[in-house]
Chains A and B, each alone.
Chain A
Amino acid sequence: MEKNFVIAGFGGQGVLLAGEVLANAFMLEDKKVTWYPCYGAEMRGGTVNCEIVMSDEEVSSVNKKEADFIIVLNQASFDKFEPKVKKGGYLIVNTSLAEKIENRSDIHYVFAPISEMAEKLGNVKMANMLSLGLLMRASGLLSVDILEKALDTVLPVHRKNLLPLNKNAMEMGYKYDLLAVNC
């Protein structure tokens, strides 16, 4: 089994870190995994994204045409990645910064005001971890505990104090009622 994920947003939303946490979580589950950042002459204020490919065997490739799961944290990412969700795949949308529109009928949309939820929890910067919680709920692939362990692996010692808050964010995402929104 091979599944791939894209996390996209604008610079500063913690998109690459969220991808790193996700990739570490798969590694902790003994999966083969590859993380690859969007790469090129990027522009300040522009969009940023990364792709994570998880597999039971050697990861075949990155830069895939389509993804099983895509998280978009802003409108520009929504516009760019909505067409790239695999048929039957999931698009997780931050409705705080993107419009709630469904242009396709062959994919699952998960709409949630991710930035506002993170802000309510104490810090908008946790939108990235909150979105990972949503992803786990939609995909059923990993538990929040594994995500937390992965974040612990990634965080440098002087940032470990941020673990509890971020775990709350992951849990809030995980517990978000997907059915009530649209799934």
Chain B
Amino acid sequence: MVECLNKTKVLTKGNYAIANAAVIAGCDCYFGYPITPQSEIGEFMSGKMQELKRAYVSAESELAAINMVLGACSTGKKAMTSSSSCAIALMQEALSYATSDELPVVLVSVMRGGPGLGNIFPSQGDYNQSTIGGGDGDYKIIVLSPSTVQEAVDLTYKTFYLAHKYRNPAILLADGLLGQMMEPVEFGEYPYPEVDHSDWALLGAKNRNSRIIRSYSPQEEPQCEHIRHIFEKYRHLEENEVMYEEIDTEDADLVVLSFGSLSRNVKAAIKQLREKGLKIGFFRPITLFPFPNKRLQEIAGKTKKFLTIEVNMGQMVRDVRLAVNGKVPVEFYGKPVGSWPSVEELAEAIEKAVI
């Protein structure tokens, strides 16, 4: 296990970095069930959480793990689990409950190949699983997507903060490549204020009226009101929390989009083509929900075409098309699963799209 607390700059694996950042963010409870390619998160937590006298439970299943997180979150504690693709599929019901219960669930998702059991190679096939999800009813999950190990650390902090600020589940969406690679990182301190949960958390009803957290709501109007209240939070998120990276879109004939660690290959390919004189811009949504719709609409007014590149069969591309609403064509390039397309392959694909 990599010991990385209390050091300024360390070379560390993405999974360890995320786990260590969660510890620094003040994670009180970790519940998990191992699955490649994110098992190092649970491994790190199994040692560190006990050392710090915080809660660590190796759950009997993913279902148990996520529901333990719901339980711990109902007391206002910072609780998390981490898992991967086919196992996160098992957690969808709990995520739906947690949005209605308004619980600050933190889930780290390190994508591998699917569908079904798939394989352990990196993939971006769970964009839809994270942003749309498979639970019932009207809800949204906050989704943050890092592209480097350093950003995985920074966004782990942010995932905790946003989950607690908005009392809504939040996913840090990484991939097998980012989880397994080592890069230098600085952890620093948790940069966000602590959120006060004393007005709703279940901490014992001594000297006050009892509280209840439940998603069941048998009456029509109160349920409508509840959902409108939840969606008001989503509106706030869309107005205030959108994050993205944007390069050279001002004069671009073509704007290429990608998310996560694949973006680095894409950026390198664009750099090569820019040197050849082609006017190509780059755009990377960092928050997948809230999606940067507004900014994309603005760019669509200036550029001629969008190209979305993903290691899946075309998932984020749908959100891009919705955002630009037919203003410009949105093309797609990708592969289903496995090693990221090389810079050369991407440069060729992008050059084809620019004409």
Contact = CB atoms under 8 A, between A and B. Distances in A.
B237 interface: no
Interface in B1-34: 3, 9, 11
Contacts of B176: 39
A40 B121 contact: yes
* Majority SS at the chain B contact face: mixed
Contacts, number: 63
A37 B343 contact: no
Contact of A40 (B120, B181, B265, B343): B120
A34 B181 contact: yes
Nearest to A24: B11
A36 interface: yes
Nearest to B3: A156
A58 interface: yes
Interface residues of B, number: 25
A156 B264 CA distance: 32
Nearest to B121: A40
A153 B9 CA distance: 11
Interface in A11-54: 20, 23-24, 27, 32-37, 39-41
Contacts of B9: 27
B342 A33 contact: no
B50 interface: no
A27 B184 contact: yes
B148 interface: yes
Contact of A27 (B11, B121, B180): B11
Among A27, A41, A58, A61, the most chain B Cβ lie within 10 Å of the Cβ of: A61
A120 interface: no
A39 B123 CA distance: 13
A20 B183 CA distance: 10
A59 interface: yes
A39 B14 CA distance: 14
Interface in A41-79: 41, 58-65
Contacts of B181: 34-36, 62
Nearest to A23: B11
A58 B150 CA distance: 11
A20 B344 contact: no
B340 interface: yes
A18 to B, nearest CB: 13
B182 interface: yes
A24 B119 CA distance: 30
Tell me which of A20, A27, A34, A36 has the highest count of chain B C-beta atoms within 10 A of its own C-beta: A34
B167 interface: no
Interface of A: 20, 23-24, 27, 32-37, 39-41, 58-65, 153, 156
Interface of B: 3, 9, 11, 37, 119-122, 148, 176-177, 180-184, 264-265, 267-268, 339-340, 342-344
7 contacts: A20-B182, A27-B184, A36-B180, A40-B120, A61-B264, A61-B265, A62-B340
